[in-house]
């Protein structure tokens, strides 16, 4: 039977060594969370890195790790610590990530990192080529593997390849600054279908292809030698029912409450007027975390009547902590939270509850269902699935989502309060509006958002992608037979 091969930098499970034990945890971030449901459904295999570098694996450990990975319908690409330093921490996260998120001041163009990126993309290609069989489809994910589609196509032109970018594709003016821009585009054009979260990213990509590669672009089709490559936007959804059903179960009176939920309840019971504002992100400079904390401070100063009445719950999930910008961000966040809590706290109130860790799924549901407002304000974000998860868990259709215009998700979530994350005025006005919003208005906004997210969930997203990939293939056959 034909299979679908998903390829991404990380596998959906991450393995680490703790003493003589192997520890298995789910990977964080939108890609892993979203694709997991696609992988669970289909007949396929997921190829990626296990989380352990090859230096840490003797042959005994290796077979144990591989057994765990195979059990989860996955296959590992072995990476050395040099690969991780130069390809992952280096080129992926000190070059592509900042550049594609418009952080030019953080972008490093380091030749040795570029060489490592090419080398590691080849390692991924080797594993894919050893796995793929006639009739299979390969679906390559994200910016760490931009060269992979062409590396596969060169050897197996018969294989159908899809590529999806989970982060923004920047405007031509940004992309053109990149020294190896043509090689990257060539790598992506190995795919038969290139997908983005939004029409804007698609437009930016097509403009770079036209101007840098000087290729013919007809609406959303690129003619590349004897091939036609289709480019389209597919806003990624979530596993809506999983979040909605978990919230329903959580709200059921008979369910045993978690320790976190008991703490949240104590706060709510103290004073019915008190409100929770929730923010959840990976600790990443694109998420606008320090700005959000400063904006919250400004909000408390602008509307002092909310002092002792609101609490910001900030969950930041550790990420890429070996990259200097992330270390700086961690200290800045710690300092800001400390300063603001020091400035505003009273004996009975701390304005910010700050958690720096990842929480299990049931605790996320505790947070989503207990929060009156979700404050999701990245300065730049490919999509942002947290905004969608919050909406899915609001089973009583109450609650307000404040969302940055700079998140891809904003394009489909007009009923949220959309703000410019660089404007403190926007923050303060939106927070005040959200906290005062009549229940009927909350309900009518939530209802529309939920209907849309339920209809276009992650399964539908994947189906649409595969349907378009199929159509692209038929197009290809027509071109070849002409
Ligand atoms: O969603 C964007 C993304 O970079 C994914 O590619 C990645 O899986 C996730 O965020 C988490 O990042 P990392 O794998 O670098 O921890």
ipTM of predicted assembly, 2 dp: 0.95
Looking at residue 196, its pLDDT comes to: 98
Looking at residue 420, its pLDDT comes to: 98
Region 447-470: mean pLDDT is 96
Residue 234 pLDDT greater than 70, yes or no: yes
| Cα 377 to averaged position of ligand 1 atoms, centre (Å) | 18
Does 29 sit in the ligand 1 pocket, CB within 6 Å? yes
Using CA atoms, how far apart are residues 435 and 422, in angstroms rounded to an integer? 21
Looking at residue 478, its pLDDT comes to: 65
Looking at residue 57, its pLDDT comes to: 86
Using CA atoms, how far apart are residues 216 and 73, in angstroms rounded to an integer? 40
| Cα 93 to averaged position of ligand 1 atoms, centre (Å) | 10
Longest dimension (CA), the chain: 79
**Which residue minimizes the CA distance to atom 5 of ligand 1?**
31
Question: pLDDT tens across 354-403, in order?
Answer: 999 999 999 999 999 999 999 999 999 999 999 999 999 999 999 999 99
Using CA atoms, how far apart are residues 195 and 142, in angstroms rounded to an integer? 10
Region 171-183: mean pLDDT is 98
Residue 194 pLDDT greater than 90, yes or no: yes
Does 166 sit in the ligand 1 pocket, CB within 6 Å? yes
Q: Tell me phi and psi for residue 161, to 5 degrees.
A: -125, 130
Looking at residue 481, its pLDDT comes to: 64
Region 200-204: mean pLDDT is 98
Q: Give percent of the chain with pLDDT exceeding 70.
A: 98
Does 319 sit in the ligand 1 pocket, CB within 6 Å? yes
Residue 199 pLDDT greater than 80, yes or no: yes
Using CA atoms, how far apart are residues 86 and 113, in angstroms rounded to an integer? 5
Question: pLDDT tens across 300-350, in order?
Answer: 999 999 999 999 999 999 999 999 999 999 999 999 999 999 999 999 899
Using CA atoms, how far apart are residues 307 and 349, in angstroms rounded to an integer? 9
Q: Which pLDDT band, with edges at 50, 70 and 90, does 201 fall under?
A: very high
DSSP 54: G
Cα 111 to Cα 95, 99, 213: the distances in Å are: 11, 16, 22
Contact 192, 470 (CB under 8 A): no
Question: pLDDT tens across 400-437, in order?
Answer: 999 999 999 999 999 999 999 999 999 999 999 999 99
> What is the residue whose two structure tokens read 């700005």?
291
Residue 482 pLDDT greater than 70, yes or no: no
Which of 26, 94, 142 gets mutated to test ligand 1 (max ligand atoms within 8 A of its CB)? Answer: 142
Q: Give percent of the chain with pLDDT exceeding 90.
A: 86
> What is the residue whose two structure tokens read 């997908």?
195
Strands 227-233 and 352-356: unpaired
Greatest mean pLDDT range, 65-69, 176-180, 256-260? 176-180
Average pLDDT, the chain: 94
Q: What is the CA radius of gyration of the chain?
A: 23
Q: For residue 233, how many other CB atoms are within 10 A of its CB?
A: 16
């Amino acid at each position: 039977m034909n299979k679908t091969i998903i390829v991404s930098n990380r596998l959906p499970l991450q393995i680490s060594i703790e003493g003589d034990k192997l520890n298995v945890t789910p990977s964080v971030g939108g890609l892993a969370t979203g694709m997991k449901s696609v992988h669970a459904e289909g007949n396929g295999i997921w190829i990626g890195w296990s989380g352990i570098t090859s230096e840490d694996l003797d042959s005994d450990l290796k077979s144990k790790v591989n057994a765990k990975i195979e059990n989860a319908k996955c296959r590992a690409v072995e990476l050395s610590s040099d690969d991780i330093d130069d390809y992952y921490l280096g080129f992926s996260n000190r070059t592509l990530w900042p550049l594609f998120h418009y952080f030019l001041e953080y972008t490093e163009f380091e030749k040795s990192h570029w060489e490592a990126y090419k080398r590691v993309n080849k390692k991924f290609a080797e594993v894919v080529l050893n796995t793929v069989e006639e009739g299979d489809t390969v679906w390559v994910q994200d910016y760490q593997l931009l060269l992979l589609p062409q590396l596969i196509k060169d050897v197996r032109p018969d294989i159908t390849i899809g590529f999806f970018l989970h982060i923004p594709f920047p405007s031509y003016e940004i992309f053109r600054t990149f020294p190896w821009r043509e090689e990257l585009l060539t790598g992506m054009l190995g795919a038969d279908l290139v997908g983005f979260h939004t029409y804007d990213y698609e437009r930016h990509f097509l403009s770079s292809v036209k101007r840098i590669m000087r290729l013919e672009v007809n609406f959303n089709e690129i003619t590349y030698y004897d091939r036609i490559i289709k480019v389209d936007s597919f806003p990624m959804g979530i596993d809506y029912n999983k979040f909605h059903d978990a919230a329903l179960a959580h709200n059921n009176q008979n369910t045993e409450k978690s320790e976190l939920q008991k703490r949240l309840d104590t706060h709510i019971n103290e004073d019915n007027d008190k409100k929770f504002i929730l923010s959840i992100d990976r600790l990443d400079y694109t998420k606008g975390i320090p700005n959000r904390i400063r904006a919250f401070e400004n909000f408390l100063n602008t509307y002092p009547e909310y002092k002792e009445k609101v609490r910001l719950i900030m969950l930041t999930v550790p990420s890429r902590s070996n990259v200097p910008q992330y270390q700086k961000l961690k200290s800045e966040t710690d300092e800001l939270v400390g300063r603001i809590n020091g400035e505003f706290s009273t004996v009975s109130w701390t304005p910010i509850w700050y958690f720096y860790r990842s929480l299990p799924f049931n605790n996320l549901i505790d947070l989503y269902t207990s929060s009156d407002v979700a404050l999701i304000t990245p300065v730049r974000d490919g999509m942002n699935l947290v905004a969608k998860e919050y909406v899915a868990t609001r089973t009583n259709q109450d609650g307000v989502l404040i969302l940055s215009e700079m998140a891809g998700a904003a394009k489909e979530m007009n009923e949220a309060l959309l703000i410019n994350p660089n404007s403190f005025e926007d923050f303060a006005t939106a927070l005040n509006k959200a906290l005062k919003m009549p229940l009927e208005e909350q309900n009518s906004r939530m209802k529309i958002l939920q209907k849309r997210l339920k209809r276009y969930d992650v399964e539908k997203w994947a189906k649409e992608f595969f349907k378009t990939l199929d159509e692209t293939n038929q197009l290809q056959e027509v071109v070849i037979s002409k």
